[in-house]
Structure 1
């Protein structure tokens, strides 16, 4: 089953169900929920095997989380090419390294360098936020704002709505300000009980319909359910149904 518009699932959401003998079944189950794309978080382990499983399921991979700023860049790009991935997204930075301007500049330099290398192979590099980029400030400026200002415009942004809100961001102000640099959104409507964090900024729960018009350059929303302690698939399916309905509206 497919949707009219692309809908991704961050595979970390189902990480316990991706092992040997389970990958094909898990990907097929996600495709049946209406997902069109999978966003892998490990593309170096067995890129050819993952590519084959994706083909069998009918899912595609347009994006992947990979620390190209720290890993073997050529290996990451080779894997991305094998999987047909057009955007490699830096998934996380150590918040302890982002406590002063020099640390933020070092991260931006690493991401920009990776972006320049990737561009030579027709691949974009992106950055995915958590909460700390908004909660931590340098000279009164959120780390995220400082970082984005230092990143080359070629570096795209994957804004995680939930984590931005937890960190204190006003998402309804942030997205229009970032403009066309925002190409992907991480979204979650329902989290597993016990996995909620205090939201210091915008609570985006149930408001995706208001948010999507603020980011018209978004190419694909990506569902991510981070922590789970039981069968995660019903939760993933409910999130998929909600997002599908919103992107159709």
Structure 2
């Protein structure tokens, strides 16, 4: 019997279908598409219920999105520990909070402090980018570069390759430069039709196999995130799952 290659799904992708009445059915449906992991974006409301639903569906949760800026860190760690989550990732910050060096340093220091606290419980803290960390420059340098330079190496990077490209980054230069600090990736092979947001850097559409090959030595879990605003997201989720699973099997 072979072990399936790990593939995660950010539950925000199916956020309309993860209410209390739908969660179990939704997780089972995701498992049926071949996903092995779910990445929750709310671990505080009902960790017991979430844990039971994950177990019943046969899914694991190795990572979760929960902001150490918005929530009490011990509460986050309690929930993560109960769910067996080993890495808690801050998914978003106010873009206006990192427009200068002092703001970037405050963010880094907050993440570093949380990482020290989490390490005492065997949990890692991570950071997930959007576009603005690359589009916003401080002293001529992308805010993301300043942030990474200030972060303790213990802080895990979850690079969203789509958002990095939208912000102007060349992910084929970025990922090798970051090296083994990148432990998780947000990936998408096919975006919602009609998504006309311009990619200012290198567009990874159709190049996900290259991205995964580039990071194979360090990335523990690729996580699919697809967002649909004007159509049924499930066919998109299914096609993305099929693409990544076919690549893993090749």
RMSD of the TM alignment (CA)? 1.2
Q: Secondary structure at the match of 1:147?
A: helix
Per the TM alignment, residue 40 of structure 1 is displaced from its structure 2 partner at its CA by 0.2
**Any gaps of 5 or more consecutive residues in structure 1?**
none
Bigger Cα displacement from structure 2, 119-128 vs 210-219: 210-219
Residue aligning to 2:240: 239
Task: Verify the 8 A CA contact 1:169 1:202 in the aligned structure 2.
Answer: yes
The CA distance in 2 between the partners of 1:228 and 1:32, in whole Å, is 24
| Count of paired positions | 248
Residue aligning to 1:42: 42
The CA distance in 1 between the partners of 2:107 and 2:47, in whole Å, is 26
Per the TM alignment, residue 185 of structure 1 is displaced from its structure 2 partner at its CA by 0.6
The CA distance in 1 between the partners of 2:117 and 2:146, in whole Å, is 23
Q: Deviations over 1:12-51 (max 9, x none)?
A: 0000001122111100000000000000000001000000
Residue aligning to 1:217: 218
Q: Secondary structure at the match of 1:126?
A: strand
Bigger Cα displacement from structure 2, 67-76 vs 110-119: 67-76
Q: Secondary structure at the match of 2:175?
A: helix
1:182-197 to 2 correspondences below 5 Å: 182-197=182-197
1:53-202 to 2 correspondences below 5 Å: 53-202=53-202
**Any gaps of 5 or more consecutive residues in structure 2?**
none
**With structure 1 as the length reference, what TM-score do the two structures score?**
0.97
Q: Deviations over 1:130-183 (max 9, x none)?
A: 000000001110000000000000001000010000000000000000000001
Per the TM alignment, residue 248 of structure 1 is displaced from its structure 2 partner at its CA by 2.9
The CA distance in 2 between the partners of 1:124 and 1:174, in whole Å, is 22
The CA distance in 2 between the partners of 1:177 and 1:142, in whole Å, is 14
